[in-house]
């Protein structure tokens, strides 16, 4: 067996190789154009932030902060963290740049890598990417529904099928403390039937017990009081309105009373979007988000309602990849040309033609390093292009080019200055 190389990417982190790039680009161009349509502007924040921003924003007792954050001490003594999510950083930017003075709401999208030191498994990495949306200064329930709609649209535009939206409301600072007490009293009475993690959670964060996947905890969960029965009037009507909007938009949602999400800043609406297999089995969540009306104030800003969500890009790309067996962007388009050349003079003419094809936005592949026509035609076959353009010695001298139909093998000679127009016509 071959020895593994001395250096490998860190555990749970991956190279995004050239063959994967078209999928990431496809995702990004779809997501950013849908978000742009709904009035979102791009914002970029640093990959590191003060660690305290996350412990305060996301929550000290969350898995993300407690177990998964990569932290570092700088030479100057600052305590920083690689960002495990976008929301806290984008909120910090909103406060720092005084954006509450601008006309509200403000809508931002971001795309980039995040870091969580989780146990790597399928669809779960230590460095991964999110496409993230945040809206500041909008308390109306229509925004919660619209966020769901946007991510649903992105996924359906990428041809995802069998999508399911799970939704819940986890109340706010008015009604949640009472529910938490009720829940922790109930959990205490069933403590011996809970897993070790959940026994610890009763005190710190009883809501997280509802989200436990351990077999042992399921019967306890099933009889637990449900938060929707204990929402205060404003939270109840907000939730009702969100559901009415989803009905209006014909979005396929399901109420999940156990959905609490693993980040502490949420208030009212929380949701996740999944894909289900034909057999109705739920795959890992593709999108997660909700409302977080208390976060901006918690981080030192003015009272500002806010909501947002993020899609896990690797999980989406994996599905796109599995669906498409084709390997390059050119093959995916299946409508480009290959440019073959023979000899030094022909190569010079080809370089010029290549530029003209690029300007005309015709996808074109080449292998200028090869001189054998046979090899170049073999490469053209691999790209599955319908036409190959050939410039040999004779064509170079005559300022012409051969257009070879790759299916029939038929070749026509056209003048070099007519080549782009002729190819455009044939590719239509
Ligand atoms: P989250 O649920 O932690 O929410 O992450 C959102 C999505 O990122 C998940 O649904 C999943 O697709 C993906 N994801 C999370 N962890 C990993 C991982 N280790 N490997 C691969 N993919 C992963 C948030 O991060 C919130 N900040 C979303 C939000 C924005 N809420 C309001 N605004």
Residue 326 has pLDDT above 50, yes or no: no
> What would the mean pLDDT of 133-151 be, rounded to a whole number?
97
Confidence category of residue 416, pLDDT binned at 50, 70, 90: very high
Select from 3.40.720.10, 3.90.740.10, 3.40.50.300, 3.30.930.10 the CATH code of 21-175+231-323: 3.30.930.10
Q: What is the pLDDT of residue 325?
A: 56
User: Which residue ranges make up each domain of the chain?
Assistant: 21-175+231-323, 329-427
Mind listing the pLDDT tens digit for each residue in 351-378?
999 999 988 989 998 888 888 899 999 9
Write the residue with the smallest CA distance to atom 13 of ligand 1: 312
Confidence category of residue 397, pLDDT binned at 50, 70, 90: very high
> What would the mean pLDDT of 120-129 be, rounded to a whole number?
95
Cβ(243)–Cβ(253) under 8 Å? yes
Which residue blocks in 210-294 are alpha helix, DSSP H? 218-222, 233-248
Parallel, antiparallel or unpaired: strands 306-312 and 71-73: unpaired
Ligand 1 atom with the shortest distance to the CA of 87? 27
Residue 44 has pLDDT above 60, yes or no: yes
For domain 329-427, give the CATH superfamily. Answer: Anticodon-binding domain (3.40.50.800)
- Tell me, in angstroms, the distance from the centre of ligand 1 to residue 263's CA: 10
Residue 279 has pLDDT above 90, yes or no: no
Beta bridge partners of 254: 166
- Tell me, in angstroms, the distance from the centre of ligand 1 to residue 82's CA: 15
Q: What is the pLDDT of residue 327?
A: 44
- Tell me, in angstroms, the distance from the centre of ligand 1 to residue 311's CA: 6
Q: What is the pLDDT of residue 334?
A: 59
Share of the chain above pLDDT 70, in %: 97
Ligand 1 site residues (CB inside 6 A) read 85-87, 116, 118, 123-125, 128, 130, 132, 134, 263, 285-290, 292, 308-310, 312, 314-315
Mind listing the pLDDT tens digit for each residue in 218-264?
999 999 999 999 999 999 999 999 999 999 999 999 999 999 998 99
> What would the mean pLDDT of 31-47 be, rounded to a whole number?
97
- Probe ligand 1: pick from 54, 65, 85, max atoms within 8 Å of CB? 85
Buried/exposed code over 354-378 (b: 16+ C-beta within 10 A; e: otherwise): beebeeeebbbbbbeeeeeeeebbe
Q: Measuring CA to CA, which residue among 304, 303, 301, 234 is closest to residue 269?
A: 234
Q: Measuring CA to CA, which residue among 119, 47, 31, 124 is closest to residue 84?
A: 47
Write the residue with the smallest CA distance to atom 22 of ligand 1: 312
Q: Measuring CA to CA, which residue among 119, 200, 210 is closest to residue 170?
A: 210
Confidence category of residue 277, pLDDT binned at 50, 70, 90: confident
Q: What is the pLDDT of residue 300?
A: 97
Residue 330 has pLDDT above 70, yes or no: no
- Probe ligand 1: pick from 62, 88, 130, max atoms within 8 Å of CB? 130
Residue 111 has pLDDT above 80, yes or no: yes
Angle between helices 313-323 and 21-37 (to 10 degrees): 120
């Amino acid at each position: 067996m071959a020895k593994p190389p001395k250096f490998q990417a860190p555990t749970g982190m991956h190279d995004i190789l050239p063959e994967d790039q078209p999928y990431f680009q496809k995702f990004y161009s779809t997501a950013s154009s849908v978000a742009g349509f709904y009035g979102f502007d791009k914002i970029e924040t640093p990959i590191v932030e003060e660690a305290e921003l996350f412990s305060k924003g996301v929550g000290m007792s969350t898995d993300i902060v407690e177990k998964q954050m990569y932290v570092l001490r700088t030479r100057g003594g600052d305590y920083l963290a690689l960002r495990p999510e976008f929301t806290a950083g984008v909120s910090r930017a909103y406060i720092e740049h005084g954006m509450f003075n601008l006309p509200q709401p403000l809508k931002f999208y971001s795309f980039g890598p995040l870091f969580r030191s989780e146990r790597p498994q399928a669809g779960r990495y230590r460095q991964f990417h999110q496409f993230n949306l945040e809206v500041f200064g909008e308390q109306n329930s229509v925004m919660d529904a619209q966020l769901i709609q946007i991510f649903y649209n992105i996924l359906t535009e990428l041809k995802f099928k069998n999508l399911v939206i799970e939704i819940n409301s986890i109340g706010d600072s008015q009604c949640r403390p009472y529910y938490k007490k009720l829940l922790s009293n109930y959990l205490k009475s069933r403590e011996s039937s809970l897993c070790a993690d959940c026994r610890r959670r009763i005190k710190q964060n009883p809501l997280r017990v509802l989200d436990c996947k351990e077999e042992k905890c399921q019967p306890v969960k099933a009889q637990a009081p449900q938060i929707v029965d204990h929402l205060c009037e404003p939270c109840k009507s907000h939730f009702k309105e969100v559901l009415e909007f989803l009905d209006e938009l014909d979005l396929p949602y399901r109420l999940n009373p156990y959905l609490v999400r693993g980040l502490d800043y949420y208030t009212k609406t929380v949701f996740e979007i999944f894909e289900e297999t034909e057999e109705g089995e739920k795959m890992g969540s593709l999108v997660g988000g909700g409302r977080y009306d208390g976060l901006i104030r918690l981080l030192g800003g003015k009272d500002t309602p806010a909501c947002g969500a993020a899609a896990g890009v690797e999980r989406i790309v994996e599905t796109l990849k599995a669906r498409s067996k084709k390997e390059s962007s050119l093959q995916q388009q299946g409508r480009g040309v290959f440019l073959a050349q023979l000899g030094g003079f022909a190569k010079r003419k080809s370089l010029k033609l290549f530029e003209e094809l690029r300007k005309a936005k015709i996808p074109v592949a080449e292998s200028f390093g090869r001189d054998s026509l046979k090899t170049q035609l073999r490469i053209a076959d691999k790209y599955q292009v319908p036409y190959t353009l050939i410039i040999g010695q004779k064509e170079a001298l005559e300022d012409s080019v051969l257009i070879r139909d790759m299916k029939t093998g038929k070749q026509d000679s056209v003048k070099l200055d007519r080549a782009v127009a002729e190819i455009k016509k044939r590719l239509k």
